[in-house]
Amino acid sequence: MKKSIFISTMLLLVSLSASAQSFQGKIYYSSKAKVHSVQSMDGFTEEQKAAIKMGQDVASAKKYVLKFNKNHSLFTEDIKLSLLPTRPMRTGGGMNLINNPGNFYKDLIAKRYVNQKDLFGKKFIIQDELKTINWQKTDEVKTIGKYVCFKATAQIANTNKYDDDDNQAETITVVVWYTLDIPVSQGPGMYWGLPGLILEVQSEDVVYLCSKIELSKIDDIVITAPKAGKKITNQKFDKLFAQKLQDLKDRHAN
């Protein structure tokens, strides 16, 4: 009897492992950026602030696609579906600086990522170790489409906002919803590390909402890291980003 139970258990574990390995496909997200920078524009009238914010909100509504399998993923903007696709910035306003995660590739085997970003018409490549996210899993449940999802939260550095005293990124609370029905540790952009695929992200600056999932039974999903761009460290890019953002704020204030 014990031998029979042991064999049944092993067969179940093998079946679950094979099932997890077969999960691959594409997940489509809608995003909405929450732009706060207009609040500090003291030189603008309330009507001007409202008009700028409306324009930023329209420009921030984008579509993304995450190609994924158990070990690799690539998160990119879906140019064909985005209302106003992200374009390299050169001289105009700052709305594309916010809500522009770039092309984000994750390798869960090597625990590395490659992030390709555009900043004022220049491409940059950031490569580094994947940071472990200290998720606090909860028992809260909701359904997204046909998938049962669980809630998790974490404190994460927000590189869109810096402390004025030491120019260090502040931390924000991020809330995600993930499903065990697709047991891969992937998610949009930098988010990963949960026992299921992340279908929704809510942060202070942006929300990602799953709009469609396409699972594939055959290994036909090509996932490669972006290569074009000047290599730069994440710390240097964050400082460059902060300086460009401050320059834009100063330009609007004058």
pLDDT of residue 247: 75
Q: For 188, how many CA atoms within 13 A lie in the half-sphere containing its CB?
A: 32
DSSP labels for 27-73? EEEEEEE---GGGG-TTS-HHHHHHHHHHHHHHH-EEEEEEE-SSEE
Who's near 163: CB < 8 A, 6+ residues apart? 169, 170
Comparing 200 with 51, the larger pLDDT belongs to: 200
Burial of 105 (0-12, 13-18, 19+ CB in 10 A): buried
Write the pLDDT tens digit of every residue in 151-205.
Answer: 999 998 765 554 545 555 678 899 999 999 999 999 999 999 999 999 999 988 7
pLDDT of residue 44: 60
| Coil, helix or strand at residue 157 | strand
User: In whole angstroms, what is the distance from residue 145 CA to residue 213 CA?
Assistant: 9
Taken in order 127, 248, 159, 153, is the CA torsion positive or negative? negative
Write the pLDDT tens digit of every residue in 82-103.
Answer: 555 555 444 334 444 455 778 9
| Coil, helix or strand at residue 225 | coil
Q: For 154, how many CA atoms within 13 A lie in the half-sphere containing its CB?
A: 18
Write the pLDDT tens digit of every residue in 105-144.
Answer: 999 999 999 999 988 778 999 999 999 999 999 999 999 9
| Coil, helix or strand at residue 170 | strand
Instruction: Please give the average per-residue pLDDT across 236-246, as a whole number.
Output: 80
Write the pLDDT tens digit of every residue in 6-46.
Answer: 444 343 443 444 444 568 999 999 987 765 444 455 556 67
Kindly state the percentage of the chain with pLDDT values over 90.
43
Q: Which amino acid is at 1?
A: M
Q: 0.85 exceeded by the pTM?
A: no
User: In whole angstroms, what is the distance from residue 117 CA to residue 115 CA?
Assistant: 6
The full set of domain ranges for the chain reads: 24-253
User: In whole angstroms, what is the distance from residue 100 CA to residue 76 CA?
Assistant: 10
Mean pLDDT of the chain: 77
| Coil, helix or strand at residue 20 | helix
Q: Is the pLDDT of residue 3 over 80?
A: no
The DSSP bridge partners found for residue 115 are: 104, 126
The DSSP bridge partners found for residue 66 are: 27, 75
